[in-house]
Structure 1
Amino acid sequence: MAMLMRAALLTGALGLLAVPAQAGAQPDATVARRLDDAMPQLMTLYRDLHAHPELSFQETATSAKLATEARKLGFTVTEKVGQTGVVAVLENGPGPVLMIRADMDGLPVVEQTGLPFASKVRATTRDGIESGVMHACGHDTHMTAWIATAQTLVALKDRWSGTLVMILQPAEEIGLGASAMLDDGLFTRFPKPASVIAFHDAANLAAGTIGYSPGYALANVDSVGITVRGVGGHGAYPQTTRDPIVLASRIVTTLQTLVSRENDPADPAVVTVGSFVAGAKHNIIPDEAKLLITVRSYSDATRRKLLDGIARIAKGEAIAAGIPDDRMPIVEAEPHYTPATYNVPEFSERMATLFRQKIGADRVIRTPAVMGGEDFGQYYRADKSIQSFIFWVGGVPAEKMKAGASGGALPSLHSPFWAPEAQTVIRTASEALTLAALDILKKS
């Protein structure tokens, strides 16, 4: 998802290659000092998490390790929420309930960063594929900043009042972790939050830069499969067949009109055919072809229009090709999809203003929404009275940012080469999360 933001942000980010204290900022000296003192310990934790990633819904060692740390800080901790999730609750007098979320899972990627603590872990995915495992999306920085924020807020309990609910979420990479925790009673078994915040590292922003997007920030993500059925036969006698490859090709071509001719150009949407599989031999027309499609949108109405349009086009092209009624294409959208992530605009601007005041105006920029997916949006969707906000923290070292601005390639999130400037990401994110919590839970 980071690659989609790159072109729009490189120019603005050039002025943010370094992250010293900015003129005009009014930093919280106590927060800054505590985080600076904790960084050596935090970096040890980060390297450990980075070297020992776990796949979605397999985060047992990770969750146990961090749950232990939360208990040491005085939180009431519940494990195995939504399979491998953790909920840590700290009540500190009357006031609102704030939830801070970090995701835990790694990806089936063989690490190629060359770091001395690079992952050598191998594991088997839910689909039965054995692979190397890597924190190629930076969730190790998320978890480390989560611990840093918890430590700092516990140390500063005299400055806030309310209930802090800190959760470690599994399975973000497959879009199922947030819903699993909600289905397991996250909002009923535990204090229900009035506000929910999180961050994600960014592979297209200079290290230490904060990016935010009011309103829709990330997209609905749907996965659709089409089984295109025909009548197979000898490639020398196509007149005796109904060729599913030709039909599937027509479907692929016509699908492009959903965005280019049926959707409002001002309403972003994506329909991408990522897989087209058919046939086994050069002179045989097969019975079937299979298409796998990713569909991206923001609003529910646009999502419904795209999904209905895919089914309509598949059937219409099949009719035009003379396919019998009992051989119409089978269109199946996966029932579990990642809903769009929505940042409540007023709340987002309030947090951005706070960051500008405390961290520096030059380090906080408004960024365009992207077509990547993030299941953090499930928490707001479960109850739209919640004030929801997720922001980006840049992780690209200054020299690499300069190379990217000159046309050089920057590794994206999910790349085997992605190695954020972890200390800067963790330091910036934990400061921002702590400042946000102190503001949300400030004593009246």
Structure 2
Amino acid sequence: MTDFAAPLADLYRDLHRHPEPAFEETRTAGVAAACLRYSGYEVIERVGRTGVVGVLRNGEGPTVLIRADMDALPVHEDTGLDYASTVEGMMHACGHDVHVAALIGAADRLAQTRHEWSGTVIALFQPAEESGDGAQAMIDDGLYEKVPLPDVVLGQHVGPAPAGVVGAHSGPAFAGANSIDITVYGRGGHGSRPETTIDPIVLAASIVLRLQTIVAREVAPQETAVVTVGRISAGTKNNIIPDTASLGLTVRAFSEPVRIRIIEAIERIVRGEAAVSGAPEPRIHYAQSFPVMVNDPDGTARTNAAFRAAFGDASVLAPGAVSGSEDVGILAAAAQAPLVYWILGGADAALYMAAAAAGTLDSDVPSNHSPHFAPIIEPTLARGVDALVVAARAWLAPQSWEMKRGEIRSL
């Protein structure tokens, strides 16, 4: 890094102190827009409500889109950092502040070295990744009418791997996900006279237990899937049987056929258990939805090779498929462009290695969405900036490049 390193670290701390929820990232968007203008980018604001896009045109060559997400989570921070969140009940618990700061640094670096490459860089700051709405909102707002179609979409996600490592997984890399809200209906009454009621709590409990059989008995062993009941609520008082109970589910899968099979099984089980209980038809509502995120195999190989050349083999990990979900693939699909999205390590390396040796990674190294999640600033930020620049330069052409758009796919 150049002398820009200290201001970038300060900018990161500022972003961490001021998290904003989905579609309310106005302050963060303002910071990103100001930094892009300072670096010489054409800036378009309020794309998809709060999204920001910067365009740097630098002669003939490929168009490379680099994306960072901006939104935070409704998590009460418990890191003890002196730059902890100042917003009650809101925290950058997924590291999107790292993504924003690293993209600001990378955009500036690419602008400062434009004499070395040719093409167009699009720096995109996306809202509302956590809700799964942000990428589509930008597309629906005419993103690709406002900026050139990219030849490749690049990005990274910080996680609890050792800081300084990077690596992308080819093919299905992040799981597709559905968030499902279920309401079951009964007939309420006095807890002393259960025979006069249809107990929705017992019904909900039966559904929870039966749902656990889907992955074990309806998904092939070689497939990967998750069905989690993350929320269940019912009742107001110990001696009252309520009229309703509600459940909140998340479903994860790496292929569309498996996802469909799981959804069909959930609906069958919920309706079947309601029928057996003599209860009315339940309500099944599909909320957030993320498609399977698929990394382009050729693009992934090309980008990982650039990482190995720049950082050495020991710094390039094979992350495998991640059961978390991402909507960045929507930006690539809408442009019919390859996607390469990699993992960026953010954990203290010494702490990580000690936990790995002790078999305590799950308890000693906080993961994304934890109130304790806190990537170390360095070398996380420096490697995040470098990774974005290296990946972009693997696609951008040398200054003498004269090929036309479309030929990038055959390189």
Q: Compute the TM-score of the two structures, normalised by the length of structure 2.
A: 0.91
Name the residue aligned to 2:162. 206
The one-letter code of the counterpart of 2:341 is I
- Structure 2 residue aligned with 1:247, among 195, 203, 221? 203
More moved, 347-356 vs 251-260: 251-260
More moved, 83-92 vs 418-427: 418-427
Name the residue aligned to 2:30. 64
Q: Secondary structure of the equivalent of 1:416?
A: coil
How far apart in 1 are the matches of 2:340 and 2:193? 60
How far apart in 1 are the matches of 2:146 and 2:185? 48
Name the residue aligned to 1:330. 283
How far apart in 2 are the matches of 1:138 and 1:99? 20
- Structure 1 residue aligned with 2:8, among 42, 67, 75? 42
Distance 1:257 1:151, change over 3 A: same
* Contact map agreement 1:342 1:380 (CA 8 A) in 2: no
How far apart in 2 are the matches of 1:222 and 1:371? 12
> Displacement of 1:76 after TM fit?
0.7
How far apart in 2 are the matches of 1:66 and 1:282? 51
Name the residue aligned to 1:24. none
* Contact map agreement 1:159 1:438 (CA 8 A) in 2: no
Name the residue aligned to 1:340. 292
Name the residue aligned to 1:441. 396
More moved, 223-232 vs 72-81: 223-232
Please show how residues 154-169 of structure 1 align to structure 2 within 5 Å.
154-169=111-126
Percentage of pairs with the same residue: 45
1:422 paired to 2:406:
no
* Contact map agreement 2:165 2:315 (CA 8 A) in 1: yes
Distance 1:111 1:251, change over 3 A: closer
The one-letter code of the counterpart of 2:315 is R
How far apart in 1 are the matches of 2:194 and 2:78? 48
The count of corresponding residues between Structure 1 and Structure 2 is: 395
> Displacement of 1:271 after TM fit?
1.1
How far apart in 2 are the matches of 1:382 and 1:433? 21
1:193 paired to 2:124:
no
- Structure 2 residue aligned with 1:81, among 34, 40, 47? 47
- Structure 1 residue aligned with 2:346, among 391, 395, 400? 395
How far apart in 1 are the matches of 2:263 and 2:331? 24
Distance 1:242 1:107, change over 3 A: closer
Provide Cα deviations, 1:338-362, integer angstroms capped at 9, x if missing partner. Answer: 2221111121111101111111101
> Displacement of 1:211 after TM fit?
2.8
Name the residue aligned to 1:379. 331
Q: Compute the TM-score of the two structures, normalised by the length of structure 1.
A: 0.85
1:369 paired to 2:321:
yes
Question: CA RMSD, aligned part only?
Answer: 1.7
The one-letter code of the counterpart of 2:131 is I
Provide Cα deviations, 1:142-194, integer angstroms capped at 9, x if missing partner. Answer: 11111111111112112211111111111112222111111111122211111
Q: Secondary structure of the equivalent of 2:387?
A: helix
Name the residue aligned to 1:52. 18
Name the residue aligned to 2:387. 432
- Structure 2 residue aligned with 1:302, among 239, 242, 258? 258
The one-letter code of the counterpart of 1:294 is T
The one-letter code of the counterpart of 1:194 is D
Distance 1:304 1:381, change over 3 A: farther
Distance 1:48 1:223, change over 3 A: same
* Contact map agreement 2:16 2:84 (CA 8 A) in 1: yes
1:171 paired to 2:128:
yes
The one-letter code of the counterpart of 1:171 is A
* Contact map agreement 2:175 2:322 (CA 8 A) in 1: yes
* Contact map agreement 1:206 1:397 (CA 8 A) in 2: yes
> Displacement of 1:74 after TM fit?
1.5
Distance 1:364 1:275, change over 3 A: same
Q: Secondary structure of the equivalent of 2:92?
A: coil
Deviation >6 Å, runs of 4+: none
How far apart in 2 are the matches of 1:400 and 1:110? 23
Provide Cα deviations, 1:112-166, integer angstroms capped at 9, x if missing partner. Answer: 32222222223xxxxxxxx2x2222222221111111111111211221111111
Gaps of 5+ in 2: 402-411
1:107 paired to 2:73:
yes
How far apart in 2 are the matches of 1:161 and 1:55? 36
Q: Secondary structure of the equivalent of 2:355?
A: helix
More moved, 82-91 vs 216-225: 216-225
* Contact map agreement 2:302 2:394 (CA 8 A) in 1: no
Gaps of 5+ in 1: 1-34, 123-130
How far apart in 2 are the matches of 1:333 and 1:285? 27
> Displacement of 1:85 after TM fit?
0.6
Q: Secondary structure of the equivalent of 2:24?
A: coil
More moved, 79-88 vs 398-407: 398-407
How far apart in 2 are the matches of 1:119 and 1:226? 33
Distance 1:289 1:388, change over 3 A: same
The one-letter code of the counterpart of 1:74 is G
* Contact map agreement 2:177 2:325 (CA 8 A) in 1: yes
> Displacement of 1:107 after TM fit?
2.1
Name the residue aligned to 2:228. 272
- Structure 1 residue aligned with 2:216, among 260, 274, 294? 260
How far apart in 1 are the matches of 2:87 and 2:283? 38
Name the residue aligned to 2:409. none
> Displacement of 1:268 after TM fit?
1.0
* Contact map agreement 1:222 1:295 (CA 8 A) in 2: yes
